[in-house]
């Protein structure tokens, strides 16, 4: 085990890796309930998406474990599933045709992963943008935790307002948050995981966590329920490109965010980047074959890293738990439906990810503003990809007008132009 995952070299052990894997799994397990719910609104059978979600998560996460040796989980991405549903609704086409666009995007994605394009992209992104991306993701997931728990709610006057502290779910979240904060302050190992267990126990005894059974036979997976010919006959090339573009930058941004927090980045480079990037490309392609939207590296992986996970063994644990989950849908559904269990973790991990702010040169405006723009737009638009787009547009522009255009890698100019065109002609909704 130590030779395979280099545990000693990464200053970790089997117990810590298991805790990290369980922690990440518990913070992202909602996807196996939420993803089918979103895609079923586009007409895809719930059980088909459920099995496709688990299959793509297991395949992608195991690829990440054995080929890249990183504690990063892969699963169908939030945001991309909503985009899938909106495309089905607006195009007036069957979901099988749109799965064809996801499949083709996945194939192109895999081919690009064999090249050095995505590695070059990671190395070309300047430090200020990398720290901006990490911090932006931190605010994004912390805000997600606040929304999930009802601590912040929609407000007509100011878009967002303070929630009802008398609501049972909000009270439970606050209880779980303070329990976890105390454990973190005491430097208790596995504090995030223990905090979730404590919150779940309180939820059970207050009647908020209810189990409608324990074990249920898994649904039969459906294979290759797609219409690739329909993609060409309907000329859906821009849809393929949109899925490709969003997946590339969602995953690249998340990988950078998690890698920075875990200390994997070396001189601005991510070791074994090609293997890590191939994992989500494989998951996207396989997932589309069984019936789900594109997969991506999960920002919730930061919770497992915060709990001590440092190697692919953490990812193996996550994959095993996903595989086992197909037999325990009643329990999984109950945990996923009680956001108070996972919301405190997202809020605390968001704090961890703000560390990079201290390393941004705030006195140099053309470095500071693009990072600020990323940090601002990610949580406000609920899109990692949009935040990255804004950063890629503003950074080369400001460098160019300040006479430092030669310091910017050509690939930033290329993607800056692509993002401008994408926002004008193919805006995300």
**Per-residue DSSP letters for 189-249?**
TTHHHHHHHHHHHHHHHTT-S--S-S--PPPPP------HHHHHHTT-HHHHHHHHHHHHH
Buried b (16+ CB within 10 A) or exposed e, 386-411: bbbbbbbbbbbbbbeeeeeeeebeeb
Q: How many residues does the chain have?
A: 429
Q: What six digits make up the tokens of 77?
A: 């991405």
Predicted TM-score of the model (pTM): 0.79
SS3 state at 8:
coil
Q: Is the dihedral of CA 303, 306, 309, 312 positive or negative?
A: positive
Q: What six digits make up the tokens of 165?
A: 């502290």
pLDDT (tens digit per residue) in 258-296: 888 888 888 878 888 889 889 989 999 999 999 999 998
pLDDT (tens digit per residue) in 57-116: 999 999 999 999 999 999 998 778 877 887 888 778 899 999 999 999 999 988 988 888
pLDDT (tens digit per residue) in 358-404: 999 999 999 999 999 999 998 888 777 788 889 999 999 999 999 99
């Amino acid at each position: 085990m130590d030779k395979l995952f280099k545990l000693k070299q990464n200053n970790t052990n089997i117990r810590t890796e298991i805790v990290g894997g369980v922690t990440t799994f518990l913070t992202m397990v909602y996807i196996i309930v939420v993803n089918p719910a979103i895609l079923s609104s586009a007409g895809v059978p719930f059980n088909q998406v459920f099995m496709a979600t688990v299959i793509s998560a297991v395949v992608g996460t195991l690829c990440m474990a054995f080929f890249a040796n990183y504690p990063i989980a892969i699963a169908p991405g939030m945001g991309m599933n909503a985009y899938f549903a909106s495309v089905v609704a607006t195009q007036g086409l069957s979901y099988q045709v749109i799965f064809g666009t996801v499949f083709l995007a996945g194939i192109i994605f895999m081919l690009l992963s064999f090249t050095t394009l995505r590695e070059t992209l990671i190395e070309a992104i300047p430090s200020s943008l990398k720290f901006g991306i990490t911090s932006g993701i931190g605010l994004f997931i912390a805000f997600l935790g606040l929304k999930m728990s009802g601590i912040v709610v929609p407000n007509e006057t100011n878009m967002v307002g303070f929630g009802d502290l008398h609501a049972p779910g909000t009270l439970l979240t606050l209880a779980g948050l303070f329990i976890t904060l105390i454990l973190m302050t005491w430097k208790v190992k596995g504090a995030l995981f223990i905090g979730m267990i404590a919150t779940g126990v309180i939820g059970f005894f207050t009647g908020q966590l209810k189990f409608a059974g324990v074990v249920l036979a898994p649904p039969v997976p459906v294979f290759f329920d797609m219409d690739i010919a329909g993609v060409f006959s309907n000329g859906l090339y821009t849809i393929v490109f949109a899925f490709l573009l969003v997946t590339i930058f969602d995953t690249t941004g998340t990988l950078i965010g998690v890698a920075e927090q875990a200390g994997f980045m070396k001189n601005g480079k991510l070791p074994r980047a090609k293997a890590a990037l191939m994992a989500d490309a494989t998951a996207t392609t396989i997932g589309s074959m069984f019936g789900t939207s594109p997969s991506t590296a999960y920002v919730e992986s930061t919770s497992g890293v915060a709990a001590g996970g440092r190697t692919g063994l953490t990812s193996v644990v996550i994959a095993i738990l996903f595989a086992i989950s197909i037999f325990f849908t009643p329990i999984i559904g109950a945990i996923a439906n009680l956001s108070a269990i996972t919301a405190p973790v997202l809020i605390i991990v968001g704090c961890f990810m703000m560390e990079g702010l201290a390393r941004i040169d705030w006195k140099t405006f053309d470095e500071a503003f693009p990072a600020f723009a990323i940090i601002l737009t990610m949580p406000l638009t609920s899109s990692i990809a949009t935040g990255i787009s804004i950063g890629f547009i503003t950074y080369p522009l400001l460098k160019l007008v300040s006479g430092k255009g030669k310091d910017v890698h050509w690939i930033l100019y290329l993607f800056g132009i692509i993002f401008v065109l994408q926002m004008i002609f193919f805006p995300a909704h």
